[in-house]
């Protein structure tokens, strides 16, 4: 299966069902009154965490996700049913943004839900509008439109430990001998093209380790596997920095990889790091190890050989000890922030080249969508609502006169003062 860790999809929540305008018609009830039911709410689009998923591949081929609309209200005071929500399984570690970069939320646990697009509210039936002043309203509301937006999903691997280092330093071999992972292993750069996850058991405890694609210089600028690798290291609590003893200058390798991390995100370099010198079975490995250890007096440096399995148990216990010293910090859960009604600009009016007053704005458009323009009472109510939010007064201030055309979305009407 292809590994896809970033994708853009369009999500459309369900429209709310329309309310019904009807009246009771019973033989022995002279004044039956309004009996139109409310429409049901539209379905949300919800991303839900799934442990069995490890790639965003399915969403690559499902770029348009739609939830069902609510059911319309009907006569005899029958309300329409709410639509079922549209659930989309995503891997743990999925982060969701709008295309302009606004953070929507993230899914970190199995079964955790994130509402990405809210379904529209069902329209009210005429029964809901009955009052002492107007006991028999002949109008009803249409349901609100569901939210529609494009979002960018980014997968950041969830692992306790990340193996980092240049290509071909032995990361794939190491994870294959300390965990249950079965990565591709070969003696050439970039054997690992996708993150491999493995579970490592130490006595009765365990941790997840990720074999991440090898870094090269200027990876933070997108060279090599670039950002495709670097984003996956962000969630790792401990870094195991593998350095090969067949390198001409192990210390320079150490500095170069850390510089790439620093260029990408300065906070990553603050994570606890265990330096591991691999391929200690080589002839001059001991001298290189001692020279490196001397240059890193305050750094844990462990000599191993993934091939001969030298010191692997020591490494596992050192990783476990470091994890205990750096407990999991639960991320601050951010929710989708919807604007409060009072923060929304109710409407805007602009005059186009033809002299038409163009009315727009979230509140005005919401009132428009709720209006049934086939029903005269409903249209009259819409006109009264626009006046209530200040549209008439604003048009007067802009110089509108009787008979001037006002347009909102696809609907045009004449202004009368």
169 is in an annotated binding site: yes
Alpha helices in 179-329 (DSSP H): 226-230, 250-264, 285-295, 312-325
211 is in an annotated binding site: yes
Give per-residue pLDDT as tens, 97-128: 999 888 899 898 899 999 999 999 999 999 99
280 is in an annotated binding site: yes
User: Which of 165-169, 185-189, 198-202, 335-339 is the most confident on average?
Assistant: 198-202
194 is in an annotated binding site: yes
| pLDDT at residue 273 tops 90 | yes
For 82, which DSSP code? P
User: Which of 51-55, 202-206, 230-234 is the most confident on average?
Assistant: 202-206
pLDDT score of 45:
97
| pLDDT at residue 405 tops 90 | yes
pLDDT score of 186:
40
Judge whether 360 and 408 are in contact, CB under 8 Å: yes
Compute the distance between CA of residue 385 and CA of residue 367 in angstroms, rounded to an integer.
8
167 is in an annotated binding site: yes
- What value does the mean pLDDT of the chain take? 84
Judge whether 69 and 46 are in contact, CB under 8 Å: no
Compute the distance between CA of residue 104 and CA of residue 27 in angstroms, rounded to an integer.
55
Alpha helices in 53-188 (DSSP H): 57-60, 126-129, 171-178
Query: Which CATH code, of 3.40.50.300, 3.30.450.20, 3.20.20.70, 3.40.1010.20, is assigned to 161-325?
Result: 3.40.50.300
Which residue from 134, 150, 2 is spatially nearest to 64, judged by alpha carbons?
150
166 is in an annotated binding site: yes
For 301, which DSSP code? E
Which CATH topology does 344-414 take? GMP Synthetase; Chain A, domain 3 (3.30.300)
Compute the distance between CA of residue 357 and CA of residue 359 in angstroms, rounded to an integer.
6
171 is in an annotated binding site: yes
306 is in an annotated binding site: yes
Report the range of poorest mean pLDDT among 136-145, 260-269, 327-336: 327-336
Which residue carries 């690992």 as its tokens? Answer: 192
Positive or negative: CA dihedral 283, 287, 292, 297? positive
193 is in an annotated binding site: yes
307 is in an annotated binding site: yes
Tokens matching residue 262: 């620093």
Compute the distance between CA of residue 152 and CA of residue 8 in angstroms, rounded to an integer.
4
Tokens matching residue 192: 């690992």
Judge whether 385 and 408 are in contact, CB under 8 Å: no
End-to-end CA distance of the chain: 66
212 is in an annotated binding site: yes
| pLDDT at residue 226 tops 50 | no
pLDDT band (50, 70, 90) for residue 260: confident
| pLDDT at residue 327 tops 90 | no
| Residue with more model confidence, 212 or 292 | 292
279 is in an annotated binding site: yes
pLDDT band (50, 70, 90) for residue 341: very low
- 219 Cβ partners below 8 Å, 6+ apart? 225, 226, 227, 229, 230, 260, 264
Judge whether 93 and 49 are in contact, CB under 8 Å: no
pLDDT score of 51:
84
172 is in an annotated binding site: yes
pLDDT score of 33:
84
Give per-residue pLDDT as tens, 376-394: 899 999 999 999 999 999 9
Q: Would you list the domain boundaries of the chain?
A: 1-155, 161-325, 344-414
Q: Torsion angle of alpha carbons 70, 73, 74, 80, nearest 10°?
A: 50
The yes-or-no answer to whether 161-325 and 344-414 have a common fold is: no
Give per-residue pLDDT as tens, 297-315: 989 899 999 889 999 999 9
Judge whether 47 and 88 are in contact, CB under 8 Å: yes
| pLDDT at residue 221 tops 50 | no
Tokens matching residue 42: 């539209």
111 is in an annotated binding site: no
For 128, which DSSP code? H
| Residue with more model confidence, 197 or 276 | 276
214 is in an annotated binding site: yes
Question: What is the pLDDT averaged over residues 271-284?
Answer: 92
| pLDDT at residue 183 tops 50 | no
**CATH architecture, range 1-155:** Distorted Sandwich (2.70)
pLDDT score of 198:
81
Give per-residue pLDDT as tens, 13-47: 999 999 999 888 766 666 668 989 999 999 999 99
Report the range of poorest mean pLDDT among 20-34, 62-76, 235-249, 289-303: 20-34
Which residue from 170, 162, 176 is spatially nearest to 230, judged by alpha carbons?
162
pLDDT score of 335:
46
| pLDDT at residue 184 tops 60 | no
191 is in an annotated binding site: yes
Q: Give percent above pLDDT 70 in the chain.
A: 85
Judge whether 239 and 271 are in contact, CB under 8 Å: yes
Beta bridge partners of 214: none
C-alpha atoms less than 13 angstroms from C-alpha of 137 in its C-beta half-sphere: 24
pLDDT band (50, 70, 90) for residue 215: low
Compute the distance between CA of residue 275 and CA of residue 292 in angstroms, rounded to an integer.
10
């Amino acid at each position: 299966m292809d590994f896809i860790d970033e994708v853009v999809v369009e999500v459309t929540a369900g429209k709310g069902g329309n309310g019904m305008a009807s009246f009771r018609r019973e033989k022995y009830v002279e004044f039956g009154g309004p009996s139109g039911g409310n429409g049901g709410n539209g379905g949300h689009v919800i991303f839900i965490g799934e442990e069995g998923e490890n790639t965003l591949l399915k969403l690559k081929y499902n770029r348009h996700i739609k939830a069902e609309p609510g059911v319309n209200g009907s006569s005899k005071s029958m309300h329409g049913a709410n639509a079922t929500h549209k659930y989309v399984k995503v891997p743990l570690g999925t982060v969701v943004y709008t295309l302009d970069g606004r953070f929507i939320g993230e899914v970190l646990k199995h079964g955790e839900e994130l509402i990405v697009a809210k379904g529209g509210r069902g329209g009210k039936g005429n029964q809901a509008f009955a009052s002492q002043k107007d006991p028999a309203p002949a109008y009803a509301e249409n349901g609100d439109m569901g939210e529609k937006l494009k979002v960018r999903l980014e997968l950041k691997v969830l692992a306790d430990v990340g193996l980092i280092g240049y290509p071909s330093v032995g990361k794939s071999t190491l994870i294959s001998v300390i965990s249950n992972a079965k990565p591709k292993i070969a003696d050439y750069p970039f054997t690992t093209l996708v993150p491999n996850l493995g579970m490592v058991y130490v006595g009765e405890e365990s941790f997840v380790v990720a074999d991440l694609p090898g870094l090269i210089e200027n990876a933070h600028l997108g060279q090599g596997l670039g950002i495709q690798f670097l984003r996956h290291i962000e969630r790792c609590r401990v870094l195991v920095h593998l350095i090969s003893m067949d390198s001409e200058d192990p210390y320079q390798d150490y500095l170069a990889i850390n510089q790439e991390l620093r260029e990408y995100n300065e906070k990553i370099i603050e994570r606890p790091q265990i330096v591991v010198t691999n391929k200690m079975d080589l002839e001059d490995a001991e001298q290189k190890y001692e020279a490196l250890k001397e240059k890193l007096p305050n750094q844990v440096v462990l000599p191993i050989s993934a091939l001969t399995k030298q010191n692997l148990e020591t490494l596992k216990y050192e990783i476990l000890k470091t994890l205990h010293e750096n407990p999991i910090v639960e991320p601050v859960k951010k929710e989708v922030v919807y604007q409060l009604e009072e923060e929304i600009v109710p409407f805007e009016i602009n005059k186009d080249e033809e002299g038409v007053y163009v009315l727009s704005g979230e509140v005005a458009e919401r009132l428009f969508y709720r209006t049934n323009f086939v029903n005269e009472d409903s249209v009259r109510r819409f006109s009264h609502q626009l006046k209530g939010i200040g549209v008439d007064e604003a048009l007067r201030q802009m110089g509108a006169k009787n008979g001037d055309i006002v347009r909102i979305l696809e609907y045009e009407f004449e202004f009368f003062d």
